[in-house]
């Protein structure tokens, strides 16, 4: 295939956005006409799961096509080694122009030390791996503190052009923060908590920002993308990665998007009492809530009451609709510049949010579908017709799929499987998939930092918690909401044993197949 005939790729990723919170996935309230249009002109996956329901590990899996246990970015606060190749590196080597706009999160973007702050001064050598070049730091806030735009060393995990946005909410960092200070002379006032606009919400992390829509990170990311598309004059095809930090908490949609939805419009369809036998972390969160306990961190899953859930839903819907409006602007720019007819448009999210299921918010070690199942849309100029696919697919499958569509071969060690055959003729590429969750701290009543492995098949979800005697088994065919844990059911012990063996085969496959040997011995 000649380079001139290779398609462009516009890849749009949202943050902490569960699959069923889009109109095209059946949400009855959230208004997303532009994203829905992508679905109407392409393929929609209804059983697409993340490799890990946490930002950094799953984003690294997206770029490498490898599971967290293999690529090494196992939980938030680690780094994706600069030694790691990504599918974007392959695209660049194959003649593509590559650009990233928005949240990357392949390196820590906070200077805050981790919760795991223990020290052992008796250790002469602290870690199994040497630090140094394996620990890049281009997302750290210190680089963006000055007025002069920080020049990221490129290629940055394969990206030749990077416009960096770090963190979440109305106070994102990176290049956005430098731009915001230029645009807003009173930016410090805008960032003062005491100056939030008045509101009657009491939901945790609900904050009515005084920052207008025109200066909000979602608009900034779309503006930079549209500007880049309008000025694109290269003869090579492009891969543009556009990644919005919303609808990740805090819950702070700006301007008109704050009042766009009312909490009264939303229902709690899956309250805590719907679960017949809550797992220990679910029960711990409930007991903590009833006893007036606090969140360990702003990122830790929490149990909240119905009103707070509804408020979080209304504000999340506002953030999603703002993202949808900006997606419409970006696609319009594709059309206005004559590039739409040769561009594959992909829409996806890095993980979901409990967002009310069992009265929980945010994400955590309980791998319910609300945090592992995400939207995946693929609109291809070869066929702009609506199709729906229930076949299993994973974040790690994206890299080989994009490369196959570009006519390029992936490097050794990619664990994902291209789903292009599924798009062409609905052929399933997987009978199961693995989801990993690793925590950097002990929380939610667990005896140690969570190490969770889930095997997903079309019918079953089987989950093991490292070091714990209990686990989870759900019959998704008869219990799609995962409300009855069959782990201890005598009638399901044979099923559990078979799935345990199946999970073992998945775990055996978590060996790095790269590099291959260079000598016989």
- Per-residue model confidence (pLDDT) at position 119: 56
pLDDT computed for residue 132 by the predictor: 60
* pLDDT above 90: residue 502: yes
Which has the higher per-residue pLDDT, 116 or 18? 18
Residue 24: closest CA among 42, 11, 8, 9: 42
Q: Where are the domains of the chain?
A: 3-112+133-422
* Percent of the chain at pLDDT exceeding 70: 97
Model confidence at 46: pLDDT above 50: yes
Q: Please state whether the peptide bond connecting residue 348 to the residue before it is cis, i.e. omega within 30 degrees of 0.
A: no
Provide the pLDDT for residue 254: 98
What is the average pLDDT across 361-388?
97
pLDDT at 296: 87
Stretch (H or E) spanning 290: helix 280-290
pLDDT at 516 over 70: yes
d(CA 321, CA 440) in angstroms, rounded, equals: 33
pLDDT of 481 over the 70 cut: yes
Q: Which of 240, 233, 218, 72 is nearest to 159 (CA)?
A: 240
Confidence of residue 114 (pLDDT cuts 50, 70, 90): confident
pTM for this model (two decimals): 0.96
Tokens of 485: 């844990």
Q: What is the mean pLDDT of the chain?
A: 95
Tell me what percent of the chain is helix, strand and coil, each rounded to the nearest 5.
Answer: 35, 15, 50
Q: In this predicted structure, what is the pLDDT of residue 242? A: 98
pLDDT for 3 beyond 50: no
Mean pLDDT of 361-384: 97
Across residues 48-57, what is the average pLDDT?
97
Q: Give SS3 for 131.
A: coil
122-174 per-position pLDDT tens digit: 788 887 877 665 457 898 999 999 999 999 999 999 999 999 999 999 999 99
**How far is 241 from 11, CA to CA, in rounded Å?**
5
**CA–CA dist 351, 371 (Å, integer):** 6
Q: Provide the CATH number for the domain formed by 3-112+133-422 in this structure.
A: 3.40.720.10
- Check pLDDT > 70 for residue 231: yes
- pLDDT tens, residue by residue, 14-27: 999 999 999 999 99
Banded pLDDT at 110 (limits 50, 70, 90): confident
* pLDDT at 468 exceeding the cut of 60: yes
**pLDDT tens, position by position, 388-425:** 999 999 999 999 999 999 999 999 999 999 999 999 99
pLDDT of residue 135: 54
What does the pLDDT average to over 262-278? 98
Task: Tell me the pLDDT tens digit for each residue of 88-101.
Answer: 999 999 999 999 99
Given a cut of 90, is residue 2 above it in pLDDT? no
| pLDDT for 79 | 86
Residue 1 confidence class, pLDDT cut points 50, 70, 90: very low
């Amino acid at each position: 295939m000649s380079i001139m005939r290779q398609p462009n790729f516009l890849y749009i990723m949202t943050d902490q956005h569960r699959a069923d919170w889009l109109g095209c996935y059946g949400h009855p309230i959230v208004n997303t006409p532009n994203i829905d249009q992508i679905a109407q002109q392409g393929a929609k996956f209804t059983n697409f799961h993340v490799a890990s329901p946490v930002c950094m590990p799953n984003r690294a899996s997206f770029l490498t096509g490898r599971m967290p246990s293999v690529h090494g970015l196992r939980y938030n606060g680690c780094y994706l080694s600069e030694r790691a190749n990504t599918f974007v590196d392959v695209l660049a080597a194959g003649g593509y122009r590559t650009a990233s706009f928005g949240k990357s999160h392949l390196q820590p973007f906070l200077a805050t030390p981790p919760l795991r702050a223990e020290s052992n001064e008796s250790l002469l050598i602290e870690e199994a791996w040497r630090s140094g070049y394996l620990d890049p730091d281009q997302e750290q806030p210190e680089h963006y503190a000055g007025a002069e735009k920080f020049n990221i060393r490129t290629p940055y995990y394969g990206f030749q052009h990077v416009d960096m946005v770090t963190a979440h909410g109305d106070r994102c960092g990176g290049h956005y923060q430098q731009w915001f200070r230029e645009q807003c002379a009173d930016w410090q006032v805008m960032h003062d908590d005491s100056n939030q606009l008045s509101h009657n919400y009491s939901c945790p992390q609900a904050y009515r920002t005084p920052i207008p829509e025109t200066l909000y990170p979602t608009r900034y990311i779309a503006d930079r993308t549209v500007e880049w598309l309008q000025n694109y004059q290269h003869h090579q095809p492009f891969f543009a990665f556009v990644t919005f930090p919303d609808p990740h908490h805090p819950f702070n949609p700006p301007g008109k998007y704050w009042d766009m939805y009312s909490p009264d419009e939303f229902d709690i369809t899956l309250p805590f009492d719907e679960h017949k036998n809550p797992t220990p972390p679910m029960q711990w969160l409930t007991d903590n809530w009833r006893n007036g306990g606090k969140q360990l961190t702003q990122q830790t899953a929490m149990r909240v009451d119905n009103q707070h859930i509804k408020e979080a839903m209304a504000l999340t819907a506002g953030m999603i609709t703002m993202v949808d409006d900006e997606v419409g602007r970006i696609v319009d720019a594709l059309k206005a510049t004559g590039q739409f007819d040769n561009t594959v448009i992909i829409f996806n999210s890095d993980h979901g949010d409990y967002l009310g299921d069992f009265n929980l918010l945010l994400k955590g070690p309980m791998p319910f579908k609300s945090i592992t199942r995400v939207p995946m849309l693929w609109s291809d100029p070869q066929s702009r017709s609506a199709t729906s696919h229930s076949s299993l697919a994973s974040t790690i499958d994206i890299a080989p799929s994009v490369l196959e569509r570009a006519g390029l071969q992936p490097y050794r060690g990619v664990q994902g499987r291209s789903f292009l055959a599924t798009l062409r003729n609905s052929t399933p590429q997987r009978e199961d998939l693995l989801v990993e969750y690793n925590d950097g701290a002990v929380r939610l009543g667990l005896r140690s930092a969570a190490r969770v492995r889930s095997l997903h098949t079309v019918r079953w979800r089987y989950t093991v918690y490292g070091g714990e005697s209990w686990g989870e088994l759900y019959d998704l065919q008869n219990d799609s909401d995962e409300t009855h844990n069959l782990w201890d059911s005598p009638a399901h012990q044979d099923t559990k044993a078979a799935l345990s063996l199946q999970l073992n085969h998945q775990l055996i496959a978590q060996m790095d197949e790269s590099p291959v040997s260079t000598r016989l011995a």
